[in-house]
Amino acid sequence: MISLGHFHRHTRFYAGILLGAATGVACVGMDIPLRLTIAGDVFFAVYLILTAAFALTLTADDLRKTANRDDEGMLVIWIVTLGAILLCLGSFVLYLNKAEAADPLHLAFAVLSVPLGWGTLHTVMSFHYANAYYADAQPERRGTQDTRGLDFPGTDEPLVTDFLYYAFTIGMTAQTSDVATRNGDMRKLTLVHSILSYFFNTVIVALAVNVAVSQGH
C-alpha cells in the first residue's frame, strides 16, 4: 500500500500529472487525441523541469538518506510513466491514420511528445538506479552499508548526473558503457530498462518513417 509520504516525496512527478490532466481538461473544443497528447507533453515537461531544478543540487549523502523511502511505490510511477508514453504514442498513430487533412498543431505536439516521453522514462530510471545503489544492504541495520550494484570508474559516491549518464546511455544504445554492474538485482533492472529502450527506440524510428511518408503525400 502506498503511503501519503510517497506522494510527498514524489511531488514533482504528481505535480506533472495534475498539471497535465488540468491542461487536457482545459483544452475544450479540441479532439480527444490532441488533448491527450497536450496533457502528456505538459506532464513530461513539468516533471523534467522540476526534476532538473531539484536533482542537480543533491549530494551522495542526500541520495543515501532517502534511497529506501524514495523507492517506495516505484511500480506505480513506472506504470503511470509508461501509460502516459503509450497514450502519446497512440495519439501519434491516430494522427498518422487520420483520413482528413493533417493538423499541424497535432503533429507538432505529437512530435514533441516523443523526446519528452523518452527523456522522462530515462530520468525516472536514473532515480531508480540511484535508489537501488544507495539502499541499505541490510535493511534491519539502517545506514550500515550501501547495496551499490554499479561500479562507476573514478568515484565511490556517484551523484545524480552519474546515474543519468548510466540510464541515458542505455536509453540511446540499449547497452552499458564504462559502468559495470556488480550484482544480480542491478543486472535484472538494467535488462528490463534495455528491453524498454529497444522497443521505444524501434517505435520512434517507425513513427519517424511514417511521418516522412505521410508528409510526402
Q: Is residue 9 part of a domain?
A: no
pLDDT, average across residues 9-28? 89
Confidence check: pLDDT of 109 > 50: yes
Ramachandran sector of residue 152 (left: φ over 0; alpha: ψ -120 to 50; beta: rest): beta
151 domain residue, yes or no? yes
Where is pLDDT greater, at 104 or 18?
18
pLDDT digits (tens, 9 = 90+) for 172-200: 987 888 999 988 889 999 999 999 888 88
Q: In 196-206, which positions are buried (b, 16+ CB within 10 angstroms) versus exposed (e)?
A: bbeebeebbee
Residue 7 forms part of a structural domain: no
If one compares 139 and 166, the residue with the highest pLDDT of the two is 166
C-alpha cell at 85: 508514453
Higher pLDDT, residue 100 or 172: 172
How many domains in the chain? 1
The domain containing residue 155 runs over which residues? 58-216
Q: Does 90 reside within a domain?
A: yes
The residues, ordered by sequence, that sit 6+ positions from 39 with a Cβ below 8 Å of its Cβ are 20, 21, 23, 24, 27
Q: One-letter amino acid identity for 195?
A: I
- Is residue 74 domain-resident? yes
Which pLDDT belongs to residue 143?
47
Q: Is residue 6 part of a domain?
A: no
pTM of the model: 0.85
Confirm whether 166 is domain-assigned: yes
Give per-residue pLDDT as tens, 46-99: 999 999 988 888 899 988 888 777 665 677 777 888 888 888 788 777 777 775
- Residue reference for cell 530498462: 193
| pLDDT at residue 169, rounded to an integer | 94
The C-alpha cell at 66 is 532517502
